[in-house]
Structure 1
């Protein structure tokens, strides 16, 4: 038999039954409470106290709670732990009977609404639909209203890569199409009916498959958010053919938006280029970096604007200063529609819109058609700023339900209520003084609290002086005082409290009307936000190009790269000024494959990354770090740089290496760029060398795209003589006084040796190991055999080494101390 619970707990259980898989946060006064299993889970995961509640049954119900005013932090942590949270609010005012409650929002990993305007990242949720010949994905960020859709080839690698590229945390799919999507949370949802009122956002779609997946995501958002989402923007169709294709491996290896060390922004290309002044500009720049263009006309248009802003330094600096006053209009617009805008947010919208005339004026003063066309998109919205300025005080409080944020003189009724309230307070002060004089009780005070209202307080010592003719009615007893009420005070209390309560409700009502007024122009505000974000990106690219002496790239139709004094922008920025060694890059159409040899730490990987980053910077419309740069336009970039195990997937370094290389070998075209670093080092020497040679031959003879292929297999340098279009270059180094010196210059020809033992010496390996390695290396080079310690008589090896050592010694070049040290070492070797 089920236990009988109190009406409130029965209400909770009814709601929980409808949301069995969600953590139900149940509003009780100033707290969100959780009960039963939810309480057990939340108390453990959030490390908060587990208590109990008498709920009508014999046993106390497990319970834990969090204050409603700080609930967002707790919700965030639950979402990070992959829980869904159903928010239950009080829908009616407390009074007689049980308060009506209901779910007002379901928060999921993909729908959490971060109120922090300092957050410069998108939070996309995706929907997946599988069709016969294609996968369809739609994406939405409810904090900005961005909505996108893309068709992708029916390939698991492409599917996961697209989700990871958008940093998706949650994927919605039909129950009969449920599957895993990497580390994403999967939410099954089968509601596919067409929603009325959202036709306009589908205007750009002609593909019924895309319409279907977008409709699925829209239904899920409406179902979880329990409100109108009028801020959703027209759905953008992602056309992969318009952008450079880069898989996740490539983006990570090139450190486009995060570094490989700790996945932070510092040290990435995004970090280098981000001199934006607004959060929306920063998000927009990140999207440009992740999706460089491939259409020359569009790239040149961006470069034209960057160049003209470089030339007009004064206007650019003025724009930079004005943009500092711009708040995140994109997210503020979403908050209008979402219904969680407060008075301070509204003031920020007004302050942001006030910058438009100045931004427009600076752009129009630049004699360039493209710049002036951008300026025309910033239309006059002074009617919005006037409405906000007329109504809201300069520094409003965060709460919109406690009043004191609407300006005096804005509303006549509100002014009257405020007069009564303020006059009432003056009256109370006068009343207190009169009562002291009338009663002769000098310590008498008039006070107020929410439970008992206004009262007259008299200390215990003065109680004998309270007479019947004063008409004092006892209201409350304290340990050291008594509190009274009089008919006159009661009457004024009613007036004051009524005026205070009514004025707060009236201010809230005025604010709601103003919010609805703004809501009609949400899409206009979003368009302005996009334009300001674009302007911010352009000034950022212009600043970084100007400040670092970058040069405008020139594109060619041939398959050639000619870069003079090229640099790796990120490394150059983190190094001390003047220490970075620039490199020329020359890749000709007849020899598109460069085979790069040279020592570890000699700059091979930096050289390769430098070329790739210059390509990406050029194709997003930024100047590049060089004194001149002539580049082709690439359609794809593939990399295999750095060794890494994927232990979770059970894959070794070599397996990861082969999988990453396979993408390039299968999908690269003649117009692609491939960077392969030390292919084959994860397996046996001859296996690795054979695989590396086969790959180079395949790329050179079949794909024929520009390729940078670094290797320690010097034996492969003969390939340059095979007529395959392969050129040898090397990272140069010299030995001075038996010390290896890196020159960080990549020069024509092949390296004569790898200097591996010298690098080991730099790493401070024990002298005995360095010495032994030299013995083995000499024998390998002389005899071309693999030396095994167990197969060589120790004495013979040591004697041979002593002879070789003596041959290399120049007695006249040794200092007395060096000569003594050498003699000691030789004696030790004989002793062994």
Structure 2
């Protein structure tokens, strides 16, 4: 039984495709250094369906460890390189749709006995099974060696596929064809001597068969027994009774040889059918060995460690790294990846992760999921150490997107995915919740985020990483004993911000959203306006100790109690009758009255 990886998890973790729909950079593109196509396919299937049974992962880890001793994986990869796709060839053989050159490629792969010598001998059960399955079926190999030429034609209908010595009838028919050239040269020499035509030629083409060609200038010398077959601009083509008899014999032999070859090839496919299961096991062993060597190479090249599996529920990672982001930084020269620890267990099943935008919350959450996934499929992991308890599923709710085709808004899609997680997650699941509740009004979103967090903590009790910008949720651990606050840090220097990408205990102090907007290239006027608006909102919030609801209706205007002194003075002014001097005096009077009312 495999660990449950819903489609949203595969997409959000970018296992085989990026969020933009590209094939790279993904976890699969980073891992896939396999030498064969069947190895790459098997690696992808391991990645998308990691087993829950830890014994399977332990066997794979043991095999990887054995391959790393003495760098055995290097020798094996060199010998695996260029191996044909035995898996697909065997599938086509089972359907009797395999081509001659594919069978030759299969024969070559079955002769790679040097692979057996390079596989380490030891107690690892997986390597022992691979060694057993890599014993090629001797009878199938003997059939392929006896039946096929070294370099056969691409298609059986073209002939030239079956090796000589397999069938006496085919050899006889081929002998007639092989003697054809000698007969034509002899006939040409005899006819030149008989007719005295020095440039007479005996030739053959697929349209007109065999013919004797004579130039127009020599046509008068043509004997009476020549029969005209074709007239050209500068030559005439003839046939003689002797050449006609040979043509009938040669063409008949060619057709019969092609039919005989086709029948022999079909017989060969039938004789190979009983060996298909063993050939399938051979292909699986090759693919498994290829994947294990690729994982051993990745571990050595990228500095990964072997995980440890335990029975108690826990996810303990020391100096964990996001494998794809780390490789991307190394490739682009973007600096070193900042590793982070993760400790989830019975006393801390949920982390409330806060911190600035661009600070690394999503990267941290995804790296935990990827390390759990890699360990579960039997690979080494990007960390200093890793202890992992039972895991039955990895659920994610990350990002904002519409599903317009199914009439789902961003928020509706967000809630649908959250509902799916709340219904299906268990105590052994890993749940990633990133910015839940941001698609609706402030208080609605906060209430929903708090309710979802409480359900995951109290009812589901799954291992949960809960990233949020709702600072009110940093109070959540105070009333929930298995939740802890964590934050990614940043420092501010004037108007600049430096993201440290380092996870630390406790809640974050702020989000630095305006600084991120400035880094993204938002016009400075907009940034300045946002700074003033934020200052006003924070001042108002500190005065009322309540978060401003941006979607609340405007406050009602105070009830009218009759005209005040400002209104009365304003009503007495006739703008059309005022001189400039009188208008200025009136304005000063109104200003004074307004100031007196404000003071009261």
2:175 counterpart of 1:416: no
Larger Rg: 2
Q: Distance in 2 between matches of 1:518 and 1:448?
A: 39
Q: Distance in 2 between matches of 1:775 and 1:786?
A: 18
* Cα deviation code 1:456-514 (max 9, x no counterpart): 1223333223242xx11112223433221111111221222222222222222222222
2:386 counterpart of 1:616: no
Residues 325 and 352 in structure 1, CA contact (< 8 A), matched pair in contact too:
no
2:327 counterpart of 1:573: yes
CA-CA distance at 1:791 after TM superposition: 9.0
- 1:690 is aligned to 447
Residues 487 and 506 in structure 2, CA contact (< 8 A), matched pair in contact too:
yes
- 2:281 is aligned to 527
Q: Distance in 2 between matches of 1:786 and 1:492?
A: 101
- Structure 2 counterparts to residues 75-94 of structure 1, below 5 A: none
- 2:486 is aligned to 729
2:19 counterpart of 1:249: no
* Cα deviation code 1:763-805 (max 9, x no counterpart): 11111111110000001111115689x999xxxxxxxxxxxxx
Residues 619 and 633 in structure 1, CA contact (< 8 A), matched pair in contact too:
no
2:145 counterpart of 1:389: yes
Residue from 599, 603, 618 that aligns with 2:356: 599
2:309 counterpart of 1:551: no
2:159 counterpart of 1:403: yes
Q: Distance in 2 between matches of 1:490 and 1:288?
A: 66
- Structure 2 counterparts to residues 10-49 of structure 1, below 5 A: none
2:245 counterpart of 1:491: yes
CA-CA distance at 1:544 after TM superposition: 1.3
Q: Distance in 1 between matches of 2:207 and 2:500?
A: 81
- Structure 2 counterparts to residues 643-682 of structure 1, below 5 A: 643-682=400-439
Q: Secondary structure at the match of 2:158?
A: coil
* Cα deviation code 1:215-250 (max 9, x no counterpart): xxxxxxxxxxxxxxxxxxxxxxxxxxx221121111
Residue from 219, 228, 245 that aligns with 1:474: 228
Q: Distance in 2 between matches of 1:439 and 1:358?
A: 64
Q: Distance in 1 between matches of 2:345 and 2:163?
A: 70
Q: Distance in 1 between matches of 2:259 and 2:176?
A: 15
Q: Distance in 1 between matches of 2:337 and 2:152?
A: 51
- Structure 2 counterparts to residues 175-214 of structure 1, below 5 A: none
* Cα deviation code 1:508-538 (max 9, x no counterpart): 2222222211112111211222222222222
- Greater helix share, 1 or 2? 2
Distance 1:558 1:687, change over 3 A: same
CA-CA distance at 1:370 after TM superposition: 4.1
Q: Distance in 2 between matches of 1:448 and 1:408?
A: 25
- 2:528 is aligned to 771
Residue from 250, 259, 276 that aligns with 2:18: 259
Q: Secondary structure at the match of 2:400?
A: coil
Residue from 208, 219, 224 that aligns with 1:452: 208
CA-CA distance at 1:669 after TM superposition: 1.1
CA-CA distance at 1:275 after TM superposition: 2.2
Q: Distance in 1 between matches of 2:316 and 2:91?
A: 46
Query: Higher relative CO (CA 8 A, sep ≥ 6), structure 1 or 2?
Result: 2
- 2:62 is aligned to 304
Residue from 134, 143, 150 that aligns with 1:378: 134
Residues 556 and 633 in structure 1, CA contact (< 8 A), matched pair in contact too:
yes
Residues 59 and 124 in structure 2, CA contact (< 8 A), matched pair in contact too:
no
2:471 counterpart of 1:714: yes
Residues 391 and 407 in structure 1, CA contact (< 8 A), matched pair in contact too:
yes
Residues 719 and 726 in structure 1, CA contact (< 8 A), matched pair in contact too:
yes
CA-CA distance at 1:695 after TM superposition: 0.8
- 1:433 is aligned to 189
Q: Distance in 1 between matches of 2:268 and 2:256?
A: 18
Unpaired runs of 5+ residues, structure 2, are: 542-547, 556-600
- 2:339 is aligned to 582
Q: Distance in 1 between matches of 2:20 and 2:47?
A: 20
CA-CA distance at 1:553 after TM superposition: 1.0
Q: Secondary structure at the match of 1:306?
A: helix
Q: Distance in 2 between matches of 1:448 and 1:597?
A: 85
Residues 734 and 743 in structure 1, CA contact (< 8 A), matched pair in contact too:
yes
Residue from 295, 298, 316 that aligns with 1:562: 316
Q: Secondary structure at the match of 1:427?
A: helix
Q: Secondary structure at the match of 2:405?
A: coil
CA-CA distance at 1:324 after TM superposition: 1.8
How many residues align? The count is 545
- 2:31 is aligned to 273
**Worse-superposed segment, 508-517 or 602-611:** 508-517
Q: Distance in 2 between matches of 1:325 and 1:766?
A: 56
Q: Distance in 1 between matches of 2:348 and 2:186?
A: 97
Residues 595 and 709 in structure 1, CA contact (< 8 A), matched pair in contact too:
yes
Distance 1:426 1:672, change over 3 A: same
Q: Distance in 1 between matches of 2:133 and 2:239?
A: 64
**Worse-superposed segment, 412-421 or 663-672:** 412-421
- 2:268 is aligned to 514
Residues 137 and 279 in structure 2, CA contact (< 8 A), matched pair in contact too:
no
What TM-score comes out, normalization by structure 2 length? 0.87
* Cα deviation code 1:706-741 (max 9, x no counterpart): 100111111211112113422111111111242111
Root-mean-square deviation (CA), in Å?
2.1
Residues 717 and 750 in structure 1, CA contact (< 8 A), matched pair in contact too:
yes
Q: Secondary structure at the match of 1:746?
A: strand
Q: Distance in 2 between matches of 1:565 and 1:348?
A: 46
Q: Secondary structure at the match of 1:521?
A: helix
Residue from 389, 396, 401 that aligns with 1:632: 389
Residues 354 and 382 in structure 1, CA contact (< 8 A), matched pair in contact too:
no
Q: Distance in 1 between matches of 2:62 and 2:70?
A: 12
Q: Distance in 1 between matches of 2:281 and 2:533?
A: 69
Distance 1:552 1:402, change over 3 A: same
Q: Distance in 1 between matches of 2:65 and 2:400?
A: 39
* Cα deviation code 1:190-210 (max 9, x no counterpart): xxxxxxxxxxxxxxxxxxxxx
